Amino acid sequence: MRASSKIFTALLLLMLLLFHLQQHLEFQRLRQLKGAFHQSEFPSLSWKSWTNGDFQSAFENYQKDHLGYRPSLIRIHNQLHYSLFDEIHHKDIIRGKSDHLLGQEYVDSYRARDLEKDSVVNARAANLALLNQYLIDKSKMMLVVFAPDKAFAMPEEFGLSPNQQIPSNSTKWQQALANNAIPFIDFRPHFKSMVDTSAYPVFTKTGIHWNVWGMRYAADSIAGFINAHSSYQLPRMIVEANIWSKDYPPIEKDLENALNLWLPLEKEEMPYQRFKMDSSGSRPKVLVISDSFFYEMYGKGLANQFFDAPFFWYYNTTALKYDWEDAPRNPKDYALDSLMQETDVVLLMSSATNLKDFPWAFDARVAKTQF
């Protein structure tokens, strides 16, 4: 055997040994993959599973899922395909003409491929109207917020018709809310206009949500709307400066993280408000039922500067109490009638892609509650 063949064989064996050691000893910390992944369990061995081949098949899947250096190998594979062939190895993420990333579900929603029946939307809105009237009678308030998205704000970026007039869940919900006199804010057209006219970007290329500047702008706008349509006077943001940076927090690069690339994507500078709060206002108690567009407002403490210890029901499935870490995590553990006595504002928020399920059965619970 020639020396070159021996060297190649030795290197191959060394590589296999390193894979094996990493898999079983985890002697080197790896940057783990982002997103939801199912990793198979080590299969149980029996005479039946061995003779019918089930064990061998399951063991092969186990080895693939737990191969040493697997996260690094997948990142290198994804990076090569992204850089050399403009390919994204994620079935739910697309890339626009100017490299904006977007979830496929937002494109499907824009094309009205997820339409809910008019009767369903109207029934849900009618149920919410019961709570809205109760709150009005108590001099309290309900507000529905439609969060913006890049498909609506920049449709041409993703090959979509810019003036699409077909019915959507957004138009259906807005009509149903108007019919029941429930106040709402639609940030979508405003953010769409800001994409072309504002000096401050409201989306990053690498994120699915509004950027931090847009999130703070929206939070302050919600406070202004509540002040104008109720007896409450929430504190308002006083912006002292806008600081530009390419150092994105995770919320601004969540889609990039989901691509699991080896190298970071090129970043544009984004604005970040340096602000203080107007201390003359008062913070009402709020119950928020929302998708992930409120999550960053809650998690980073922004919502707490406008509201008193905001109570957040994430998709109406997980209860997060800002000032009570040991609070029960299931919204069903709270009596809605008692909770409403302590609540000043009920805020419901959703992006277009989640309106098919909005408000995540909260309306059904309202219908069953005697206020």
Amino acid 191: pLDDT = 97
Beta strands per DSSP E along 147-200: 184-186
Q: Is the pLDDT of residue 215 over 70?
A: yes
Asked if residue 57 belongs to a domain, the reply is no
CA dist., res. 339 & res. 316, Å (int): 14
Asked if residue 95 belongs to a domain, the reply is no
Q: Is 312 left (phi over 0), alpha (psi -120 to 50) or beta?
A: beta
Query: Which 8-state DSSP code applies to residue 240?
Result: E
Per-residue pLDDT, averaged over 114-126, amounts to: 97
On the CB side of 344, how many CA atoms lie within 13 Å of its CA? Answer: 17
Per-residue pLDDT, averaged over 91-110, amounts to: 94
Asked if residue 107 belongs to a domain, the reply is yes
Per-residue pLDDT, averaged over 238-263, amounts to: 94
Closest CA to 362 of 251, 278, 287, 263: 287
3-class state of residue 312 by DSSP: strand
Domain that holds residue 255: 101-368
Amino acid 59: pLDDT = 56
3-class state of residue 245 by DSSP: strand
Amino acid 90: pLDDT = 84
Number of helices (H), then strands (E), belonging to the chain: the values are 15, 10
Computed over every residue of the chain, the mean pLDDT equals 88
- Of the two residues 17 and 213, the one the predictor is more confident about is 213
Q: Is the pLDDT of residue 9 over 80?
A: no
Length of the chain, please? 371
CA dist., res. 88 & res. 84, Å (int): 11
pLDDT digits (tens, 9 = 90+) for 68-86: 566 777 778 888 888 888 8
- Of the two residues 5 and 329, the one the predictor is more confident about is 329
Asked if residue 118 belongs to a domain, the reply is yes
Closest CA to 116 of 359, 293, 314: 359
Q: Is the pLDDT of residue 213 over 60?
A: yes
Asked if residue 362 belongs to a domain, the reply is yes
Q: Is the pLDDT of residue 8 over 70?
A: no
Whether omega for the bond prior to residue 359 falls within 30 degrees of 0, making it cis, is yes
- Of the two residues 244 and 196, the one the predictor is more confident about is 244
Q: Is the pLDDT of residue 348 over 60?
A: yes
Asked if residue 234 belongs to a domain, the reply is yes
Domains identified in the chain, total number: 1
Other Cβ atoms closer than 10 A to 114: 17
- Least reliable range by pLDDT among 7-16, 149-158, 168-177, 273-282: 7-16
Per-residue pLDDT, averaged over 228-249, amounts to: 96
Q: Is the pLDDT of residue 21 over 60?
A: no
Q: Is the pLDDT of residue 65 over 60?
A: no
User: What pairing do the DSSP bridges indicate for beta strands 184-186 and 237-245?
Assistant: unpaired
Per-residue pLDDT, averaged over 122-144, amounts to: 97
Amino acid 6: pLDDT = 59
pLDDT > 70 fraction of the chain, expressed in percent and rounded: 83
Cβ atoms of 257 and 250 closer than 8 Å? yes
Confidence of residue 58 (pLDDT cuts 50, 70, 90): low
CA dist., res. 71 & res. 67, Å (int): 9
3-class state of residue 184 by DSSP: strand
User: What pairing do the DSSP bridges indicate for beta strands 93-95 and 101-103?
Assistant: antiparallel
Asked if residue 287 belongs to a domain, the reply is yes
- Of the two residues 99 and 56, the one the predictor is more confident about is 99
Closest CA to 106 of 320, 350, 335: 350
Q: Is the pLDDT of residue 318 over 80?
A: yes
pLDDT digits (tens, 9 = 90+) for 36-57: 556 666 667 778 766 777 656 7
Q: Which residue type sits at 300?
A: K
Which residue has tokens 């994507």?
A: 265
Is the Cα dihedral 196, 198, 202, 204 positive or negative? positive
Per-residue pLDDT, averaged over 167-184, amounts to: 97
CA dist., res. 143 & res. 226, Å (int): 8
The reported pTM is 0.84
Per-residue pLDDT, averaged over 95-104, amounts to: 95
Q: Is the pLDDT of residue 162 over 60?
A: yes
Q: Is the pLDDT of residue 353 over 90?
A: yes
Q: Which two tokens stand for residue 335?
A: 């009596």
Amino acid 63: pLDDT = 58
Asked if residue 291 belongs to a domain, the reply is yes
Cβ atoms of 346 and 334 closer than 8 Å? no
CA dist., res. 293 & res. 350, Å (int): 7
